[in-house]
A and B are shown apart, each in its own frame.
Chain A
Amino acid sequence: MPEVTPISPSLATAAQRRFWRGLDELEGAAPREVPQDVVTFEPPRLARRAFLGVMAASAALAAGGCSRAPLETIVPYRNGPAQDGYGKPVFYASALERDGYAIGVLVETNMGRPTKIEGNPLHPASLGATDIFTQAAVLELWDPDRSTASLRNGAVDTWPRFVTELRERVIAAPDGDGIALLTETVTSPTLHDQIRTFLEGHPRARWHQYQPVNRDNVYDGSRLALGEAVEPVYRFGDAAVIVALDADIVGALPGAVRHARDIAVARRGATRPTIHAAEGSPSLTGALADRRLVIRTGEIAMLADALAAQIGGGESSAAQVGGAAGGAAQGGGAASGAPQVGGAASGVATAALGADARAWLDRVAADLAAHRGRAIVVAGDRQPAGVHARVHAINRALGNDALVATREPVAFDAGNQGDSLRALASDMRAGRVTTLVMLGGNPVYASPRDLDFGGALRKLPWSAHLALHADETSAASTWHVAAAHALESWGDARAFDGTVAIRQPAIAPLYDGHSAHEVVSVLVDGNPRPGHAIVRDFWQRRHPAGFDAFWDASLRDGIVRESAATSRASVLPAPSSAKRSAAPAVAASSALAAVPTAATTSAPPAAIATQATAAPSATTAAPAVRPASDPSSATGAIVVELVLAPDPTLGDGRHANNAWLQELPKPLTTLTWCNAAWISPRFAAAHELANEDIVELRTASATVRAPVWIMPGHADDAVTLHLGHGRTRAGRVGNGVGVDAWPLFDSATRAIVPGVALAKVDGRERLAAAQTHHRMEGRDLVRLVSREEAARCAGSGCTPAREREPTESLYPPFKYDGHRWGMSIDLDACNGCAACTIACQAENNIPVVGRDEVLRGREMHWIRIDRYYEGAPSAPRTLFQPVPCMQCEHAPCEEVCPVEASVHDTEGLNVQVYNRCVGTRFCSNNCPYKVRRFNFLQWVDRETESLKGQRNPNVTVRQRGVMEKCSYCLQRIARARQHAQTTGEPIADGDVVTACQAVCPTRAIRFGDLQDAQSDVVRARTSPRHYALLGELNTRPRTTYLARIAAKTEPKS
């Protein structure tokens, strides 16, 4: 059965082609291509140099600053065929960060403008795919609200003046007394090296790290279990059983994109891994899981204890597990914390659990026992350290070490960031900080409000904040220093497995922006150096020998070879085409291994103390939130457990001003332009709450009002509210959108807040959901095939999913002598991450319409992720279905168009001719899939200059009154065709990759020529799971689906 091949072939070949070329180049072998390659990419290279010169010069002049334009060379990525000459996009390998963790990307630039982000097939965190944030980065670059100049107390000021002031303050405090540096999670070797140099020169200066979405619990947990902070790196590809304890493996965990890929590949394989998930607030991983337990997030701790108790059955193993953890904990110098985390509490925990939880436990324990050494247990980042310690112990007890590699933390000097920020705040309040330099982040908004960081910041004599936008923190600081965007500046960053990627700019800074490296260079020796020099010099020190080749290769491939090594454990081998990309080695990283200085380490004992108490506190908190034992429920206030999670599309709020992410329907809810308090259907019924009702959530310190969203599969007596909304200084897009949940975020309780009082208050707020109906109404849309059926039919010709497709027609079929493009979407692979939707938006100049228009049902996304629920609302099965245009052979839309704006082209594509459309909208009425989108008003911003820079020059920008829809990325087909015509070599399978296909982490989308019997898409169509959506309507769709494989253990509804 074709889709059992480890990776979808078309992309494999595509990736391999790129990869081998790159490698030939790297190894200095002289393959045929080389001369041609040189010829083909010199011109753009020169063009880049010239262009950057001009840009840098103008920027410099605008800044009235430095004397001459720096000469910086960036190197294009070797991106297969069509990349020769002007008018064609040029790709540059680079890296973007999500919460500090790098994902390798290829930046597509058109005539010098970054217009699109693709994944870097060579990068282990990407393998060619990306997440939604990476896709949206290009809009962030062109965001008109970005600050174009530095501000001093709100007045426009210059970078040189800032440099002078900072230099003076550093000189004034030679030992660094009173100087504090606040960064987010630092995974950049260069930046860490700079900071370390600075701290060595100024021993009394302090470096604090705080990232709102951090891994404190993970590191503290490993300190408890293993005595030192480690970064677990999972090999889901080889696992037979995966147990996710409130862990969104494919959605949120660092390396989520790679995890999704590994799991998808494994699921296509012969031995399909079983995924067990236990969670309180639904996640993509939960939707993917074969068995999902609904349990309050706070009770996961008990679940972990109970699971540990059951592994190997009874106290003996529990003791052994405890021993494992405890022994490690002694190493960590926190023996006090160990016993609780050990087996002691297990019996109690098991008793306290509900019946379904115990059933789930038994099943999971049995599965784990049956697959010792081939299972992975993962705890979510928000779970207290105790749970992580417990999970370490479980994995160890099961002998899963082979699959759960541990390495020194990807983040440098990985202390407890929560404590680090608290320490900084108290220092500030105590007047021990006179100079505060904040590199990125937005602590005034995104930090525990009980710290009142903003208040402390305003009291400081001098503070500076480096940021893209003049945000809440900038407003409270003396200086706002305009930052250069990641696509504008040099840098480097480590991926979840430690692989280092050099971040090269794809364009010179649009405005007077500067990078963290440049600011720190001022701290180090008082004079700013260009980021290029800083990064290059750092790596030259690392690789003195043959540096030029090393540098060129690193820039070209987008990864630093042999950098992924860890101090201890095996590294992640790539099951895919990029196998070589993460080749293990030691030299580089041992050189990189950070030696924490006393000053920079935030005290671990304190951290462990809090965590050790955190675990039991979570456990004991659990019973308190049961309504039975809830005294105040009579008084109208209901006591619930509150989970504060980063927003699925806005993260911790840093993306609030990104219109694409605001309008991207959030996975699972399809909500846009808002956040809402998730509650379970049963809870809603019990307390007469309906969607869009307003509830008041009260903690000891704060009160927040938020609209309600009833979330099937959510835990009862619990509320999930997403952070990142209600920004006040995000920009024109993000200001005042949604509810600011940070006030509820307390540095003690943090993400999981027990005993929150919930009360319904008057009023309603309309929530802009892209999809308003969530049942399939018994219609045959998302098909399910039991694992058994699929397996049985793999060999024999039986076809469980395929219906007899209509073949008879009054009309003779059209003959296509050229290509017949088609697409196949594997519903078993799709995990609903929505990356395709936003990638399509970036590629095809799709406008955003705003909250009100979404409420009117006018969102414009060309590919939408339909989401259906099946089964009991309390614990439903969640089904995803990406729906682009079906490109029907008998397209109902074409028949009714009065002006031939919707017709077939010579390759049988169902094309929409924008400049012919008069806008009758009959086509949309007649489209059974409702995939057509109409410009009811002038959506596209035709005024704002910077936004024009982002647009894809190869895609028409649509006017008001015009219908539009998915075109199978016609412009990419055209590019391949032109290349084929110029080179004379025919288009091969995999030469045309649509935007949605390229970005898909799970390779669920396949695209190719239906005429070519060998093409990947044709082979997908031979699968027994293949079916056409609404095929009975005889529309003959070219986009078809592969049924989802549903474990038969789940109840069919």
Chain B
Amino acid sequence: MTAPRLYGLLAEFATADELIAAARRVHDAGYVRVEAYTPFDVDGLAEALGFRHDSVAFFTFCGALVGGLGGYFMQWYAAAIDYPIDVAGRPFNSWPMFMPVTFELAVLGGAIAAVLAMLLASGLPRLRHPIADAPDFELATRNRFFLCLRSDEAGFDRDAAERLLDELKPMRRAEVLR
């Protein structure tokens, strides 16, 4: 049997502020594939890890655009090209009457795009994550804050990493196996 490979080293903290400080330290120390786990959205944590901007907004914009244009095109095609009928003496392409549907579909497209972008970019949905097996980690959704240095970091040196984490004085340090 092959021994389970190391996923990363996990440090547990009691408060968000400690975690943010720790995150800054390891980031300054040159770690880029650091992961921080918190029970709620801690302001500035991602930035501390060097995660500046996400792509959700862009996808949302595209979704809204597709929804809106597609919506209008559908109405125009249906009413003016595919099956034109004289309805109440109105012109086939009565664009003012097509606005509400166009708008609603724009919103719908945007919202769906936003959610999909967020999920997919975060790798969700996900059935299993190695870190879930780490000791104490169920507290990550309760009141503990975790920092994980991943072993697949370029030039990862376990000893150096352990030393670095200990300097941060975590409540405890554990290893996460893959």
Chain A directly contacts chain B within the complex, with at least one CB pair under 8 Å:
yes
Q: Which of A203-211, A743-751, A764-772, A810-818 interfaces with chain B? A: A810-818
Partner of A890, one of B85, B88, B91: B88
Complex CA gap A44/B89 in Å reads 43
The reply to whether A903 and B85 contact each other, CB–CB distance below 8 Å, is yes
The CA-CA distance from A814 to B89 in the complex, in Å, is 6
- Can you list, as one digit per residue, whether each of B88-127 has a CB less than 8 Å from chain A (1) or not (0)? 1111000000000000000000000000000000000000
Chain A 896-928 interface 0/1 with B at a Cβ cutoff of 8 Å (1 = within): 010010011100100000000000000000000
Nearest chain A residue, comparing its CB with the CB of B85: A903
Verify A891–B88 contact, CB threshold 8 A. yes
Residues from chain B with a CB closer than 8 A to the CB of A892 are: 88
* B89 in complex: contacting residue of A890, A897, A900, CB < 8 Å: A890
Contact A900 B86 (CB under 8 A): no
Question: What residues of chain B lie closer than 8 Å to A814, measured between beta carbons?
Answer: 86, 89
Q: Which residues from chain A sit less than 8 Å from chain B, CB to CB?
A: 809, 811-814, 889-895, 897, 900, 903-905, 908, 1036
Q: Nearest chain A CB to B167's CB is how many angstroms away?
A: 69
B binding-site residues for A, Cβ under 8 Å: 85-91
A811 touching B89, Cβ below 8 Å = yes
Closest 10 CB pairs of A and B: A904-B86, A895-B88, A894-B88, A890-B89, A894-B87, A903-B85, A891-B88, A889-B89, A814-B86, A890-B88
**CB <8 Å contact, A903 and B89:** no
Q: Shortest CB–CB separation between residue B96 and chain A, in angstroms?
A: 9
Give every chain B residue within 8 A of A809 (Cβ-Cβ): 89
In the complex, residue of chain A having the shortest beta-carbon distance to the beta carbon of B96: A810
A-B contact pairs, 21 of them (CB 8 A): A809-B89, A811-B91, A814-B86, A814-B89, A889-B89, A890-B88, A890-B89, A891-B89, A892-B88, A893-B88, A894-B87, A894-B88, A895-B87, A897-B87, A900-B85, A900-B87, A903-B85, A903-B87, A904-B85, A904-B86, A908-B86
Q: Point out the residues of chain A lying under 8 angstroms from B89, CB to CB.
A: 809, 811, 813-814, 889-891, 904, 1036
Minimum CB–CB distance from A131 to chain B (whole Å) comes to 38
Closest residue of chain B to A816, judged by CB?
B86
Closest Cβ–Cβ distance, residue B97 to chain A (whole Å)? 8
A911 to B39, CA, bound (A): 64
Q: How far is the CA of A811 from the CA of B93 in the complex (A)?
A: 11
The answer to whether B85 and A811 have CB atoms under 8 Å apart is no
Would you call A903 and B90 a contact (CB within 8 A)? no
Q: How far is the CA of A894 from the CA of B87 in the complex (A)?
A: 6
CB distance from A822 to the nearest CB of B (A): 15
Contacts of A895 in B (CB 8 A): 87-88, 90
Closest residue of chain B to A900, judged by CB?
Answer: B85
What chain A residues lie within 8 Å of B85 (beta carbons)?
900, 903-904
In contact, B87 and A811 (Cβ under 8 angstroms): no
In the assembled complex, the CB of B53 is this many whole angstroms from the nearest CB of chain A, namely 44
A903 surroundings in chain B (CB, below 8 A): 85-87
Which residues of chain B are within 8 angstroms of A890 by Cβ–Cβ distance? 88-89
Docked CA distance A1036–B90 (Å)? 13
**Nearest chain B CB to A925's CB is how many angstroms away?**
15
Whether B91 and A812, one on each chain, are in contact in the complex, defined by CB atoms closer than 8 angstroms, is yes
Provide the residues of chain B in CB contact with A813, threshold 8 Å. 89
Shortest CB-to-CB span from A805 to chain B, Å, is 15
Q: Which of B85, B86, B87, B89 has the most CB of A within 10 A?
A: B89
B residues less than 8 Å from A1036 (CB atoms): 89
Which residues of A have CB within 8 Å of B88?
A: 890-895, 904
Q: B164 → chain A, closest Cβ, in Å? A: 66
Distance of A110 from chain B, by nearest CB (Å): 31
Q: How far is the CA of A809 from the CA of B86 in the complex (A)?
A: 16
**Closest partner residue, chain A, to B90 (CB atom):** A811
Since A897-B87, A900-B85, A904-B86 are in contact, a sample of 5 more A-B pairs with Cβ atoms closer than 8 Å, ordered by chain A residue number, is A812-B91, A814-B89, A891-B89, A893-B88, A895-B90
Q: How far is the CB of B94 from chain A (nearest CB, A)?
A: 8
Cβ distance B87 to chain A, nearest Cβ, rounded Å = 5
Which B-chain residue is minimally distant from A894 (CB atoms)? B88
Q: What's the minimum C-beta distance from A1033 to chain B, rounded to whole angstroms?
A: 13
Chain A residues with Cβ below 8 Å from B86 are 814, 903-905, 908
Nearest A residue to B83, CB-CB: A900
In the assembly, what is the distance between CA of A646 and CA of B87, in Å? 48
Cα A812 to Cα B86 with chains together (Å): 12
Complexed CA–CA distance, A894 and B88 (Å) = 5
CB distance from A143 to the nearest CB of B (A): 42
- Complex: A814 Cα to B85 Cα, angstroms: 11
Chain B: CB-nearest residue to A897: B87
Chain B residues with Cβ below 8 Å from A812 are: 91
Docked complex Cα distance between A465 and B135 (Å): 105
Q: Which residues of B contact A894 (CB under 8 A)?
A: 87-88
With the chains together, A892 CA to B88 CA distance in Å?
Answer: 6
